[in-house]
Structure 1
């Protein structure tokens, strides 16, 4: 049985576009809930819920980490993977300000 999660308080949201081969555009919304302690953890782990609306299944998923930051970072990573899979399945290209990674991957430039 799959776990169900509540998004809770939304701490971040991004609007992106799905673009079909003929140029038709539709809105896709990505939401991240505020990280919170995982109620099922006996070791103090954290949970960060996320949701993708407008591109396939719209249920709330979650990622887990040893602290709130790791849970958040893993949630962003998981959403990037889901977006790629869903875009391929729907035969669309995703766009956010022309950024190929949808602005969800930060590579430090020192």
Structure 2
């Protein structure tokens, strides 16, 4: 879809750390918004945003499902997939980002 979506109210977030080649550490924030009904159809969407990583564009991504639960589940599945090529990320000092299967 070509529509732009807003993150809205955040229901879940996680702060990761990106370490650059020179050792500089930068916070990377993952945020998931409240699932909402799609104004253009019967489906639902769940917005999420990744900010702070130099290799990932700062944008809101909307993931669609047949209801709010599926939209939320799919958004949580997409986060590790989107981060799978993003090297240098850690969570709580380790490389396991604890985002479930599908990513680092």
How does the TM-score come out when normalised to structure 2? 0.82
More helix per residue? 1
Partner of 1:38: 38
How many aligned positions are there? 98
CA RMSD of aligned residues (A): 1.8
In structure 1, list runs of 5 or more residues that go unmatched: none
In structure 2, list runs of 5 or more residues that go unmatched: none
Specify which of 51, 54, 57 is matched with residue 53 of structure 1: 51
Aligned CA distance change for structure 1 residues 67 and 83 (closer, same or farther; 3 Å): same
Q: Can you list the C-alpha shifts for 1:42-88, whole angstroms capped at 9, x where unaligned?
A: xx311000001011311101101111111011111112111223x1x
Query: Radius of gyration: which is bigger?
Result: 1
How does the TM-score come out when normalised to structure 1? 0.78
Query: In structure 1, what is the Cα distance between the partners aligned to 2:3 and 2:40?
Result: 11
Using the TM superposition, give the Cα deviation of residue 40 of structure 1 relative to its aligned residue in structure 2, in angstroms: 1.2
Spell out structure 1 runs of 4+ moving beyond 2 A. Answer: 20-24
